[in-house]
A and B are shown apart, each in its own frame.
Chain A
Amino acid sequence: MIPELVVREGPETARTRLPAPGQLDVWLVRRPRLETAAELLDLSELDDAERRRTASFVRPTDGITYASAHVALRRLLGAYLGLAPREVPFVREPCPGCGKPHGRPAVAHPDPPLHFSLAHSHGMAVVAVAATVLGADVERLPRDETVEVCTPALHPGEQAELAGLAVEERRELFGRMWTRKEAYLKALGTGLSRDPGQDYLGADRRRRPPGWTLLDLPSGPRHNAAVAVLGGPPERVTVRWVPPTALYAGGTVDLDADGMTTHEPDWGA
């Protein structure tokens, strides 16, 4: 049964820690090592579908990444909402294309008290939380062969920016463009049912979709990550790690943990 969330008057109560308007919290998650993950990861808070999905991956590391991301998501949203992790009520919003319930994942509530987006790829996950609509993506750096095949599917302006670049630079730039694009399409709720060549998410901010802010995130040497936020630049962006112990049995997340806090112009893609 989906618990009913308490309607709150302010952004924060004794039980909840809702993000304030203008606040964007980004949480980075890293999977535990393969040798210890089965012993340490606490899957008890996942629902049946999440546990089935965890077991379905061909590569064990993908399953561990998926499970880590979902344990982190439940514990983070539980901390924001003042709920036990397993009681966080997820729903799918209506698809903007067809109206069926496979649109953006959300917290069940007529007026969601927060918005979130989750992405994971090859050992890393990103959870972004804000008071406004947003989308997040993380991807492992693509192979050059993949970039070669996929580039013609991008917006002509994006293709032009990739043309003539050296191999490594092109892989990096493609990864950045793609994560912005997928973050944006997730925020729209369409996902990749919308043609990836339709929108420009390249380097020129003025040509990007109006009414949205795109942020490239710190993502290390193997990945790219980005967030799309509805409206103007967030006033305060904080990026933190979810420590591995927070994914273990008895672990909790600390919403006040140290992180890198900055204003959007410092990181704006």
Chain B
Amino acid sequence: MDQTTKTWVFDDLDDFDDFDYEFEQDTVVDVDPPDPAHLAACDETERVRLIDAYVRAELARVLRVPPHSIDTEGRPMNSLGIGSINGLELQRRMEAALHLDVNLNMLLRANSAAELIECLSGQLGPGDSPHKRGGQGAHLVSHDGPGTT
């Protein structure tokens, strides 16, 4: 498709400059991932605290917002602003930092960041958490309305 066709129906639009970029801040977040060995060794409360801080920081980096502004409890990932492409970015950053497999579909469909934090905490802890075996193929799905990306 040539450029003329690509932009054909957009010729009369003159306000693309502010098209959804007005809420995006150029917040640059330095992320300091926790050491997986330390996560496995520490108690559950501490592990959840460290992973919560890490997930907030990664979400903030991808979304370019301050970490403290991330609502981990009440919103699905899509409502936070995570779509398929930045969801893939989040998945790859988490996998590289924590040395584990993160199921992309599960990440995108998580009902909240807290759900993701709980799942990661289970995978990174000692013992026989069901999350250790649930990385691939797990379906954490919300069923509300005709789905989209």
Contacts and interface: CB of A to CB of B under 8 A. Distances in A.
Contacts of B105: 191-193
A58 B75 contact: yes
Contacts of B127: none
A146 B146 contact: no
Interface residue tally of chain A, by bracket? 35 or more
Interface string A232-269: 00000001010000000000000000001000001111
B89 interface: yes
Contacts of A165: none
| Chief secondary structure at chain B's binding surface | loop
A208 B7 CA distance: 25
B71 to A, nearest CB: 7
A182 B71 CA distance: 27
A220 interface: yes
Interface in B15-59: 15-16, 19-20, 22-23
B149 A150 contact: no
- Which 10 pairs of residues, A with B, have the shortest CB-CB distance? A49-B144, A220-B10, A193-B105, A56-B79, A105-B146, A122-B20, A49-B145, A90-B146, A123-B20, A102-B141
Interface of A: 28, 30, 33, 47, 49-50, 52-53, 56-62, 65-66, 69-70, 73, 90, 92, 95, 97-98, 100-102, 105, 118-123, 125, 137-140, 142, 146, 149-150, 152-153, 178, 182, 186, 191-193, 196, 216, 218-222, 239, 241, 260, 266-269
